[in-house]
Structure 1
Amino acid sequence: MTLLEVKNLKVEFQTQDGVVSAVRDLNYTLEKGKTLAIVGESGSGKTQGAFAILGLLPKNGKASGSVLFNGTEILNLSPRKINEYRAAKIGIIFQDPMTSLNPYLRISRQLTEVLERHKGMSRSQALAESIRMLDAVRIPDAKNRIHMYPHEFSGGMRQRVMIAMSLLCGPELLIADEPTTALDVTVQAGIIDLLVDLQEDFGTSIILITHDLGIVAGSCEDTLVMFDGRVMEYRKTEELFANPQHAYTKGLLAAVPRLDKKVERLSTVSYDFLAQGREL
């Protein structure tokens, strides 16, 4: 069953030099309980497309097209209405766990505030639920560590706190925007494995935004490749890895480091396809 359907989504920004297009005719669907990877280099429009869905574009940004969530049009809702969706139906994990948490507040206050405001829980109820969620994201000794400050957590543990916070209200959709940025490789693998396990436990649909094809293969059913705000390729992940069709996708896959092949120099992406038309 379809949870999210994005049709002809465009995102534009008004600048001093005129209108800049960040996303151009983005189309995809996401089924309930499934994971979609949106892959592309920095500046390809991945994050701005997600921010348009969440109503998080800056004042000079404008989104057009259609975004259906459970059959309801949510693009360009009023600030109050879209805030209700962000609170209860759509969660987001932002890129940098080092700066996403308030350094002046204990983890307990940052988590309980979400439940008190959006679920109407008492302080004690919210604290108990927050501890339960920290246990779910595998933070050791959650009952005691919840009273610590963000600087007392490692980068990987902070990201687990952010994942817990995004799941507190039981959203149907979780948007993970570069959730492994600035983390060690081994920690990255742990975060992706955690997201896969949590999806099975909570039945949440996930949009995984990343520039790293290496973390996509075992965790996402479908993959959408973007460049310059456009869709280059959109297919089942297994098919895309086995037989990429677009030159840009082939370049991205060739640039992924391999342990089973000895190479003196990593491959780089060729942009010759620009002269031949961008889309598949």
Structure 2
Amino acid sequence: MKLLRYGPAGAEKPGILDDQGRVRDLSAHVADIAGDALTPAGLARLAALNPAELPLVEGAPQAELRLGPCVGNVRKFIAIGLNYADHAAESGMAVPSEPVVFNKWTSCITGPDDEVRIPKNSVKTDWEVELGVVIGAPASGVSKADAMAHVAGYCVVNDVSEREWQLERTATWDKGKGFDTFGPIGPWMVTADEIADPGNLAMWLEVDGKRYQDGSTATMVFGVAELVSYCSTFMTLLPGDIITTGTPPGVGMGQKPPVFLRGGEVMRLGIEGLGQQTQKVGRA
């Protein structure tokens, strides 16, 4: 299933994409694509529905019809740094011996095609296409062998990053990662049963038509199961929590010379089987 949320920002309704690429309304069956709806039992109830019998929503998704963040009421937005060896190299950092974990504040979450706003006085705003993992069943201290049973599905994430605040302002990376609009997710969450191997998905990102990132989740240092297990050792992962799993090379700060967003650009990015995002870059 491809589950989504559509409508004006802050008033999104739950929906599902049918086999013709049209949005069908799920409001009569679930309050939101969030929480209990993402548990194994919740997803089973939605999977039993026939999309063709659900109300059709007018407008082409991501054209006439705005799509919001594909998951609502996200309680934890967890990010993994330096999880691609070639990205670590372009960043001038060592490949970590265990996952680097930081936070993206949930207030940064936006729809897949909403405007990304460069923070006031920023000169080093950057892009990162990433695979997002959506938690379904609660996970606390789960083994790597059992971890995948706790995954509801996957989505595209643009881990927008302000590099000065991330790397030059001391202490944690969190400060550069959670500015408003720095977390586009979607266009939809694809349930785990439809993604045979999340560790072998092509991914890409373009700015104004120039392809900067062209990679694959196959080069992740730590795979999905290991990341879910690792994070669950020091926090309880809850339905709707998102882990964004790192980015391949091609980010702006890795260019020679570095290239950063200034405003007015258009970013396009996507992951095989998970859809695409398009964001115009503005300024706060």
> What range is the shorter-chain TM-score in?
under 0.3
Q: Structure 2 length as normaliser, TM-score?
A: 0.25
Q: Larger % of helix: which?
A: 1
Q: Structure 1 length as normaliser, TM-score?
A: 0.26
Greater C-alpha radius of gyration: 1
